[in-house]
Amino acid sequence: MRAEHSPELRARIAAGQEEARSWLAGLFGEVKGTTKTESTRAVGSFHLALLNGLMIQWLVDAERTPSGGDMVEALRRVYRGRRARRAAMTAALGVTDLVPTKLA
């Protein structure tokens, strides 16, 4: 049975994902400068997406699924690349920052 054809199944899966978001947000912490609801949704959704993506990769091709170390290295590279791009853009524009501190 596919969830898209079963409103009851779809509702149960959606409720489970919402519960997982809340649990993951509590586990990994809140985002400063946001309300608890915004923070829970943002942090929980981020971690749920990572976990779901890793589970699907493992189900399809367990041998090539990234390890925890691979994920840490990827996150480091993404963060460093973002910082470098941001620094280059602020220098090119002659500004100290691209967005207000509250949004950073």
Mean per-residue pLDDT for 74-90?
Answer: 86
pLDDT at position 30 is 65
24: how many CB neighbours lie within 10 A of its CB? Answer: 18
Angle between helices 36-61 and 7-28 (to 10 degrees): 110
- CA separation for the pair 45, 25 (Å, rounded): 8
The pLDDT tens digits for 3-51 are 778 889 999 999 999 999 988 988 887 666 666 777 788 889 999 999 9
pLDDT at position 85 is 83
- Are residues 15 and 47 located together in one domain of the fold? yes
- CA separation for the pair 54, 71 (Å, rounded): 10
- Structural domains counted in the chain: 2
- CA separation for the pair 43, 27 (Å, rounded): 10
- Are residues 77 and 100 located together in one domain of the fold? yes
pLDDT at position 83 is 82
Residue 101: give the domain boundaries.
66-104
Amino acid, single-letter form, for residue 96? T
- Are residues 72 and 83 located together in one domain of the fold? yes
On the 0-12 / 13-18 / 19+ scale of CB atoms within 10 A, 101 is exposed
